[in-house]
A and B are shown apart, each in its own frame.
Chain A
Amino acid sequence: GENVEQHPSTLSVQEGDSAVIKCTYSDSASNYFPWYKQELGKGPQLIIDIRSNVGEKKDQRIAVTLNKTAKHFSLHITETQPEDSAVYFCAASYNFNKFYFGSGTKLNVKP
């Protein structure tokens, strides 16, 4: 099956700085890559996603890039704010039924 690796496991940044989280996947058939934000005591919530026919997607302060050749994709958060503090998960799917998640990145934005 698919194997998704995520780095770093923890990330601490100063408010206003940028944060980058990276994921790699193993199955070249994977074609959909969502990112989720999980706040304490809650379920994950989709923040942005990208399909394999697109190299980059942006939504305000959040962007995702995909390199199919290298099988890696990244989440970029600019102008970080304290409310961005949470655990972020990447995932990969090749048929929209089975999703494989990374191990998560705990982002701490210091005021």
Chain B
Amino acid sequence: NAGVTQTPKFQVLKTGQSMTLQCAQDMNHEYMSWYRQDPGMGLRLIHYSVGAGITDQGEVPNGYNVSRSTTEDFPLRLLSAAPSQTSVYFCASSYSRVKVSEQYFGPGTRLTVT
């Protein structure tokens, strides 16, 4: 299994540009989520999904869209990038949404918005 994969690893955007961060998992996990990590602030939940076709907002959803058309993929879309979205983005997945199961994190995407 490849686990949780994220592309790209690095990205530089200009203010106002849009882009999609890709996340995929091959473990047939039900639950997937996106976090952003900023210095001194830990990880903050952006959006999450409890199954194909079902998504919900996390702690900091503004400026981001998600969709979940398949179990494997959970892309994160930045609609109009802003410097405040400069961060490291992590995707995570876990087997079940209704009982305790380990969250597996991807390697991250470092995004810089100029």
Contacts and interface: CB of A to CB of B under 8 A. Distances in A.
Q: Which residue, B31, B40, B59, B92, has most C-beta atoms of chain A within 10 A?
A: B59
B47 to A, nearest CB: 11
A51 B59 contact: no
Interface in B39-73: 40-45, 48, 50, 56, 58-59
Contact of B97 (A1, A9, A91, A96): A96
A89 B105 CA distance: 13
Nearest to A101: B42
A1 B59 contact: yes
A109 to B, nearest CB: 21
Contacts of B43: 44, 89, 91, 99, 101
Nearest to B91: A43
Contacts, number: 63
Interface string B87-104: 000101010111111110
B103 A34 contact: yes
Nearest to B92: A43
A101 B44 contact: yes
Given A43-B107, A96-B97, A103 B45 contact: no
* Of B31, B90, B100, most A-chain CB atoms within 10 Å: B100
A105 to B, nearest CB: 10
Contact of A43 (B48, B50, B56, B108): B108
B105 A44 contact: yes
A67 interface: no
Contact of A44 (B31, B59, B90): B90
B42 A102 contact: yes
Interface of B: 4, 31, 33, 35, 40-45, 48, 50, 56, 58-59, 90, 92, 94, 96-103, 105-108
Interface of A: 1, 4, 6, 9, 32, 34, 36, 41-46, 49, 51, 89, 91, 96-104
